[in-house]
Amino acid sequence: MATEDLLADALVSDVNYEAGAVLADFNDDPDADLDSTPDYGDWDANGNTIVILGFPTPTGNPRAGAGLQTFRCAARKADSTGANDVVWVMDVYEAGVLFIASIASGTWADSTTKTIVSGTWDATGLADASGADVEIRIVQTSGGTGQAANRRAVEVGGVEWNVDYTEGGGLSIPIVMHHYKQMSGAN
């Protein structure tokens, strides 16, 4: 067993972030995002936000088991004057397909304080056991629509996958040895 922290390395999709959303908005250490003035995907004020991010292939196959895999991200409620509460959900995707729904969720009412949100999940059943196609989806389910003066949004910053993996990739090669006995005698 071994562990590693992987930062997002692909911006797969984003909805209702400003047109300039780039991977650099999301691939920071989430803990560092809380300690400085980080990049965050900036809300465009036009509705609920969605972001899907991909990760590099882990060093070894992600281990199966409840709670062994963890997604962590820095997030905040958009600093706007809207009064709406913001509700969000975190999902696990694999190659663009929902793998596990709602590994974490929450509601922000008044605070725009940056916080770490996280969810744990089980790698059992990944179509690609290497974890090569694992993605995180963070979707705002309410708060970004309605009267423009009331809208608020979830803005996501640094995202990481804390991978618990099998060392050596789980590949085993059997070795077969044969013992030959030399026989003497007539032909």
Domain positions in the chain are 2-170
In the predicted model, what is the mean pLDDT of the chain? 85
Q: Identify the band that residue 35 occupies on the pLDDT scale cut at 50, 70 and 90.
A: low
| Residue-wise pLDDT tens digits, 97-146 | 999 999 999 988 766 778 899 999 999 999 999 999 999 999 999 988 88
Q: Identify the band that residue 182 occupies on the pLDDT scale cut at 50, 70 and 90.
A: low
- DSSP H helices in 16-149: 30-35
3-state secondary structure the chain: CEEEEEECCEEEEEECECCCCCHHHCCCCHHHHHHCCCCCCCECCCCCCEEEEECCCCCCCECCCCCCEEEEEEEEECCCCCCCCEEEEEEEEECCEEEEEEEEEEEECCCCCCEEEEEEECCCCCCCCCCCCEEEEEEEEECCCCCHHHCCCEEEEEEEEEEEECHHHHCCCCCCCCCCCCCCCCC
Average pLDDT over residues 160-181: 65
Residue 38 has pLDDT above 50, yes or no: yes
Residue 185 has pLDDT above 80, yes or no: no
Give the CATH class of 2-170.
mainly beta
Q: Identify the band that residue 171 occupies on the pLDDT scale cut at 50, 70 and 90.
A: very low
Looking at residue 170, its pLDDT comes to 47
Looking at residue 109, its pLDDT comes to 76
Residue 37 has pLDDT above 70, yes or no: no
Report pTM: 0.84
Backbone angles phi, psi at 139, to 5 degrees: -125, 135
Backbone angles phi, psi at 32, to 5 degrees: -65, -35
Cα separation of the two ends of the chain: 57
